[in-house]
Structure 1
Amino acid sequence: MPLSDHAELRAFAAVLRHGSFTRAAAQLGVSPSALSQTLRRLEDRLGQRLLHRTTRSVAPTEAGARLAARLLPALEEIEAALRDLRASGEEPAGRLRINATRLAMPFLAGMLPGFLAAHPRIRVEIVPEDSLVDIVRGGFDAGIRLGEVLEGDMIAVPIGGPLRMLVLGAPAYLERAGTPAHPRDLLRHPCAGLTMPTDHSPYRWEFEKDGESLRVAVEGPLVCNIAAVRLAFARAGLGLTFAFEQEAAADLASGALVAVLPEWTPPFPGLHLYYPSRRLMPPALRAFIAAARADARAARPRG
């Protein structure tokens, strides 16, 4: 139905509800003469007279009454639906789908309980996935990934502090095989590697020191993007692996693993919450972004 049809039908319904061109015109925000012209266009297009007009009153014709019997309930349903939609736009509600790297799970575990308690009408669905996905095509409201892998057309909000990768090995392994003094020495060690989240090609371990940057294509008996599996490989003394410092925190604290070449792995920008557009952003997503920012600020070290 063309928009002009909808406007004419709304005008017809308003006249019937108010029984007056003047009052109906005031409700619609138009002049009585403009309203009269709108209704004449509708009658001309339908080839039916819909209203009996006098100087004092207006009433539907038989054709107008038949149209009104079906039109008025339908318009009331439409207007109720629009009112509900506007109301939901004022209070955060509905389903929120977030596609997030597993690296973001500790952050989400910390913020979600408070967020859900504050917004009981929001239902959050978290889909853990390390591969970089098209969140628009996948039907997601937002995603959480490392900032360096995001497309340039996404709006990205940092939600965590810097991250750091570490080369890790068991003390017994390093005593037996020797401790690498330079990233190129890793080529002489069996390593548990991982793949790129974008195309699943082998990830070359990245290093930087004093302006020198290099990538090392390590080799070994294991490739796995699950950090727990790679860390188990290293704990068993089978070789070295590469993992985020936070993933290895327990092993580092216990001494089960030690960092190798830490001077070659400086921190880099961490997790970002990203979404396609600020235009007509759902209130649930707006509330989630605000909560994520607040949680990230609260977790940031002072000073």
Structure 2
Amino acid sequence: MRGSEFADLRAFVTIAEQGNFARAAARLRISPSTLSEMLRGLEERLGVRLLNRTTRSMSLTEAGTRLLARFKPAMEEMDAAVEAVRHLRDTPTGTVRLHLPRLASASILEPLLGRFREAYPDIVLELCIDDAATDIVAKGFDVGITLGELLEKDMIAVPLGGTLRQLAVASPDYLARHGRPRTPADLHAHRCINWRKPGGTRLYSWEFQKDGHWISVAVEGPLIVSHRDVALTAAAQGVGIAFAYWSEQWLRPLLDAGKLVPVLEEFSPPFPGWYLYYPKQRYTPAAVRALVDFLRRETKPPARPTRGPRKG
């Protein structure tokens, strides 16, 4: 088998796994047009059609189904053999693609980038900082970071850092002018800064806990943001009351400086924080394992509460 033939077969397997040319091309880091040419060349050499393609759908032919069933296990064996040899290296190498939200990047990863570089100089970290929910497997990421309550099924998860709290905060000036809410229901009489998840359509309902029960409050106000740190900036300027999940360490400087004051603390218990997660697979690449082990060492895993706020 010539090298180009193996590359074309790998491309075919990736297309079949992803179910979409664009996602498969992203996974292989080539253009969709190049991927289409590779598949066309493979089909011409084999003399059979492997995929039925329309503008809206794609499916395997009988020949494609048979080829996938026989070649995919063989390809996985070859990948495992190569990875086993790579593990003999003293230093892990390669690229690790990581998807994570903006706040997780700022509070968990960014303070550790220098130490990670020193520990693993041959690893290239490719970071996609994006608050939108993402299927990391379909998008070609090796690892993701998300909140514990949002973990996908069938993933290996590693807790990072401590628990979080969803705290309502406001500037002293705002509270002096408008008063302090005493219960979550009081927020209906206040100007609140709303948050909408990137790519979402509805506003997030603020959640509090009382006597073991969760309370959901739909608030109104003069500002809607897609990034919660922007809400804090606005709250510090007296725009209104903001609500966001923050580690105490991240929020503490703003509180200590007197720019923000927490309200309704008795209704804001802690909940599971950030988790690093990656798909279960037969052989985890050495570079991925190095990142996972590094973050596990550098952060203190919390004890996971039995329940956190519901998904927003």
Structure 1 length as normaliser, TM-score? 0.67
- 280, 283, 298: which one aligns with 2:283: 280
Q: Contact conserved, 1:131 with 1:197, CA < 8 A, in 2?
A: yes
Task: State whether structure 2 residue 266 is matched by structure 1 residue 263.
Answer: yes
CA deviation after TM superposition for structure 1 residue 84, in Å: 6.3
Give 1:160's aligned residue: 161
Give 1:75's aligned residue: none
Give 2:88's aligned residue: 90
Task: State whether structure 2 residue 127 is matched by structure 1 residue 126.
Answer: yes
Deviations 1:212-269 (A, max 9, x none): 3111111112111323321222122221111234443322111111001011111111
Matches of 1:151 and 1:83, distance apart in 2:
29
SS of 1:287's equivalent?
Answer: helix
User: Match of 1:244, as an amino acid?
Assistant: Y
Structure 2 vs 1, CA of residues 257 and 83 (structure 1 numbering), >3 Å: closer, same or farther?
A: closer
CA deviation after TM superposition for structure 1 residue 197, in Å: 5.8
Deviations 1:95-147 (A, max 9, x none): 00000111212311232322221222211111101111010111100100101
CA deviation after TM superposition for structure 1 residue 196, in Å: 3.5
Structure 2 length as normaliser, TM-score? 0.65
After TM superposition, the structure 1 = structure 2 runs for residues 58-207 of structure 1, keeping only pairs within 5 Å, are: 86-91=84-89, 92-105=92-105, 106-196=107-197, 199-207=200-208
Give 2:292's aligned residue: 289
Matches of 2:110 and 2:213, distance apart in 1:
37
Deviations 1:59-88 (A, max 9, x none): xxxxxxxxxxxxxxxxxxxxxx99865432
Q: Contact conserved, 1:94 with 1:284, CA < 8 A, in 2?
A: yes
User: Match of 1:125, as an amino acid?
Assistant: E
Matches of 1:82 and 1:103, distance apart in 2:
35
Matches of 2:242 and 2:189, distance apart in 1:
13
User: Match of 2:166, as an amino acid?
Assistant: M
Matches of 1:173 and 1:199, distance apart in 2:
29
Matches of 2:104 and 2:162, distance apart in 1:
12
Matches of 2:275 and 2:195, distance apart in 1:
21
Q: Contact conserved, 2:96 with 2:288, CA < 8 A, in 1?
A: yes
- The percentage of counterpart residues that share the same residue type is 43
SS of 2:291's equivalent?
Answer: helix
Give 1:21's aligned residue: none
SS of 1:281's equivalent?
Answer: coil
Q: Contact conserved, 2:168 with 2:263, CA < 8 A, in 1?
A: yes
Q: Contact conserved, 2:191 with 2:220, CA < 8 A, in 1?
A: yes
| Aligned length, in residue pairs | 221
Matches of 1:137 and 1:245, distance apart in 2:
29
Q: Contact conserved, 1:160 with 1:296, CA < 8 A, in 2?
A: yes
Runs (5+) with no aligned partner, structure 1:
2-80
Matches of 2:127 and 2:266, distance apart in 1:
35
Runs (5+) with no aligned partner, structure 2:
2-78, 303-312
Matches of 1:262 and 1:85, distance apart in 2:
50
Deviations 1:5-59 (A, max 9, x none): xxxxxxxxxxxxxxxxxxxxxxxxxxxxxxxxxxxxxxxxxxxxxxxxxxxxxxx
Structure 2 vs 1, CA of residues 82 and 192 (structure 1 numbering), >3 Å: closer, same or farther?
A: closer
Matches of 1:168 and 1:198, distance apart in 2:
25
Structure 2 vs 1, CA of residues 212 and 85 (structure 1 numbering), >3 Å: closer, same or farther?
A: closer
User: Match of 1:208, as an amino acid?
Assistant: Q
SS of 2:270's equivalent?
Answer: coil
Matches of 1:110 and 1:261, distance apart in 2:
30
Q: CA RMSD in A?
A: 2.3
User: Match of 1:230, as an amino acid?
Assistant: A
Matches of 1:136 and 1:229, distance apart in 2:
30
Matches of 2:111 and 2:289, distance apart in 1:
19
Structure 2 vs 1, CA of residues 170 and 202 (structure 1 numbering), >3 Å: closer, same or farther?
A: same
Matches of 2:80 and 2:182, distance apart in 1:
67
CA deviation after TM superposition for structure 1 residue 89, in Å: 3.5
Q: Contact conserved, 2:131 with 2:197, CA < 8 A, in 1?
A: no
Q: Contact conserved, 1:231 with 1:248, CA < 8 A, in 2?
A: no
Matches of 2:203 and 2:299, distance apart in 1:
31
SS of 1:248's equivalent?
Answer: helix
